[in-house]
A and B are shown apart, each in its own frame.
Chain A
Amino acid sequence: MKIAVLIKQVPDTESRIVINSDKNGIESTNIKFIVSPYDEIATEQAIQIGGETFAVCVGDTRSTEALRTALSMGIQSAVHIDTESTQLDSFQTATVLAELLKQKNVDLILCGKQGIDFDNALVPAMIAELLDIPQVLTVDKVDVMDGKLRIGRRAARGSKEIYDCPLPALISCDRGLNTPRYPSLPNIMKAKSKPIEKILAVQLLNNEKPLTRFVNYALAPERAAGKILTGDVETQVTELVRLLKEEL
């Protein structure tokens, strides 16, 4: 099977966020960048399913670090779609990825359900639409049977849905699907010489313009420090009940 894994490079959750002077992005100095965790899960799943695997990342030059991580886990090759200094919106990102994926003729596309930076959850379904292929999103179980997929995902009220999905298809991955492996030292060394193909995003964009722009970035207001209730347990409970009745 030929499998494409779509990964996004994002700031680590622990990073301190500083808004840039144009208020349309963040300062990237002092930020630890990682492969978005749901994309790591997708990468692990591709390796477990096996076959011909490659990872794709849309972003600036720093993206190659994210691709090396995927290669270190065991992905065979990678493609960097270089956005140079431009910021693409979700639709443009989906457009360039769909264009590349059309050229690569894949059986299965795996990606995380959303990037943990923006939590948009837009690109996966947009790609499925642009390629006119079946999709199942936020998946936590995948089995390959007879060239089809048997897929499970959590739905409303703790229920679980089971799908049968023909190939080619796109699956977006949720926590619970697998536990991504730590790259072994031999694999990290091997990854250094695995090929990363580079394509300019502008060559795949078909002149599509952004449908949305993210502007006026601002830090979230800090919550005021609260108070620790004092006294013995009975006193604390009584005081809490009083406060809750006021609030509610």
Chain B
Amino acid sequence: MLLIFVEHDNSTIKKSSLELIAKADELKLAPDEPVILEVLEARADAKVLSDTIDKHKPRIVLASNSLNAKDVFPKVAARLKIGLATDVVDLKIDNGKLIAKKPLYAGKAFCEVHFSTEIQMALVRPNSFAIKEEICDRLSELQHLNTSTLKHSDSPSATLVETLTDATSKQTDITEAEIIVAGGRGMGSKENFDLLSQLAETLGGTVGASRAAVDAEFATHAMQVGQTGKVVSPKLYIACGISGAIQHWAGIRTAKTIVAINKDKDAPIFQKANYGIVGDALEILPKLADALKQG
């Protein structure tokens, strides 16, 4: 049996969770092997999750490589002594066991994670797998969805005192975005980042930023892409005024199509981008947005 912990946004199941549900079919040992879905909330209790896993006795446990999952699944792994692979980009079955593929050394290499335990757990990067259209994304309509009502543990813990929401941040989490328009120091100012927002809106994408842009306060850390920001895996990544330092490259290696726009023809990013325009992003972005709106 496969156990998938699903995350939601106001009762809509997140795309990263739908990817796991779709992938589960390829990981079954028999066509009728059950797939059970449980909800993973923020600040989930490790004892509750462990008891849930004990109850179901799954072969495989999957969840997204999210903040919520990373808070709790390592604790479950230590508590139950179960193998856990994180930041996974691919899964397969070999000899009845799960094998997870994960990147190493800022994506310069990959390895396979082999498990010595009966239960195999993996936290998967968003945008690793395709979703199946017919699986619905409404929490309330999934028949076999359980929400754990088991007792919480008495262990000492930190208490959440306050959550400060960023009212201006209505965009998708960049780790889940399929289209990202990113700006670097070459954008010149916070105001110029509006050009990125406009293009992103036309494309239905999200705005990202390099570390240099965040350090210069053109963008917030939540938008930072790269080794010390977020690793993203979009279908399309448009890098504007970004030189393409190795630490930034670490965050975008697995993007399907990379477009670079930079005034400097020797910028390293041009060596890795699928398409490049040597020019001023401030001039090109509005034209690009217009041309896309018309087409």
Residues of A within 8 A of B (CB): 11, 13-15, 17, 19, 26, 37, 90-91, 94, 116-126, 128-130, 132-138, 149-151, 154-166, 169, 175-176, 209-220, 223, 225-229, 233-234, 236-238, 240-241, 243-245, 247-248
Task: Tell me if B155 is interfacial: C-beta within 8 Å of chain A.
Answer: yes
Which 6 pairs show the lowest CB-CB distances between chains A and B?
Answer: A158-B166, A158-B169, A125-B74, A165-B158, A158-B222, A211-B83
| Distance of A175 Cα from B221 Cα, bound (Å) | 9
| Distance of A150 Cα from B158 Cα, bound (Å) | 9
Q: Contacts of B171 on A, CB cut-off 8 Å?
A: 157
Query: A215: which of B109, B112, B274 is its contact (CB, 8 Å)?
Result: B112
Complex: chain B residue closest to A98, CB-CB: B78
Task: Tell me if B56 is interfacial: C-beta within 8 Å of chain A.
Answer: no
- Chain A proximity of B155: nearest CB distance (Å): 6
Q: List 16 A-B contacts (CB under 8 A).
A: A11-B105, A13-B105, A90-B84, A121-B87, A122-B74, A125-B74, A155-B67, A157-B165, A157-B222, A209-B116, A211-B81, A214-B112, A217-B104, A228-B265, A228-B277, A240-B277
B276 and A212 form a contact (CB under 8 A): no
Q: Contacts of A138 on B, CB cut-off 8 Å?
A: 67
Task: Tell me if B151 is interfacial: C-beta within 8 Å of chain A.
Answer: no
Most buried by A among B85, B173, B220: B85
B275 and A240 form a contact (CB under 8 A): yes
Chain B: interface secondary structure?
mixed
Task: Tell me if B30 is interfacial: C-beta within 8 Å of chain A.
Answer: no
Complex: chain B residue closest to A241, CB-CB: B291
Task: Tell me if B86 is interfacial: C-beta within 8 Å of chain A.
Answer: yes
Q: Contacts of A19 on B, CB cut-off 8 Å?
A: 109
Q: A91-B78, A125-B71, A125-B75 are in contact. Are A215 and B220 (CB under 8 A)?
A: no
Q: Contacts of A117 on B, CB cut-off 8 Å?
A: 104-105
Complex: chain B residue closest to A237, CB-CB: B287
A129 and B46 form a contact (CB under 8 A): yes
Q: A13-B246, A211-B116, A220-B253 are in contact. Are A229 and B275 (CB under 8 A)?
A: yes
In the complex, per-residue mask of B28-52: 1 if CB is within 8 Å of any chain A CB, else 0: 0000000000000010001000000
Task: Tell me if B283 is interfacial: C-beta within 8 Å of chain A.
Answer: yes
Interface size on B, residues (CB 8 A): 86
A162 and B161 form a contact (CB under 8 A): yes
Complex: chain A residue closest to B276, CB-CB: A228
- Chain B proximity of A15: nearest CB distance (Å): 8
A122 and B77 form a contact (CB under 8 A): yes
Task: Tell me if B82 is interfacial: C-beta within 8 Å of chain A.
Answer: yes
Complex: chain B residue closest to A119, CB-CB: B87
Tell me the B275-291 residues at the A interface (CB within 8 Å).
275-279, 283-284, 287-288, 291
In the complex, per-residue mask of B246-269: 1 if CB is within 8 Å of any chain A CB, else 0: 110010010011110000010000
B276 and A215 form a contact (CB under 8 A): no
Query: B158: which of A123, A135, A225 is its contact (CB, 8 Å)?
Result: A135
B275 and A137 form a contact (CB under 8 A): no
A164 and B161 form a contact (CB under 8 A): yes
B109 and A17 form a contact (CB under 8 A): yes
| Distance of A158 Cα from B163 Cα, bound (Å) | 11
| Distance of A181 Cα from B267 Cα, bound (Å) | 30
Task: Tell me if B227 is interfacial: C-beta within 8 Å of chain A.
Answer: yes
Most buried by A among B105, B156, B166, B221: B105
Task: Tell me if B70 is interfacial: C-beta within 8 Å of chain A.
Answer: yes
| Distance of A226 Cα from B276 Cα, bound (Å) | 7
Query: B277: which of A94, A125, A236 is its contact (CB, 8 Å)?
Result: A236
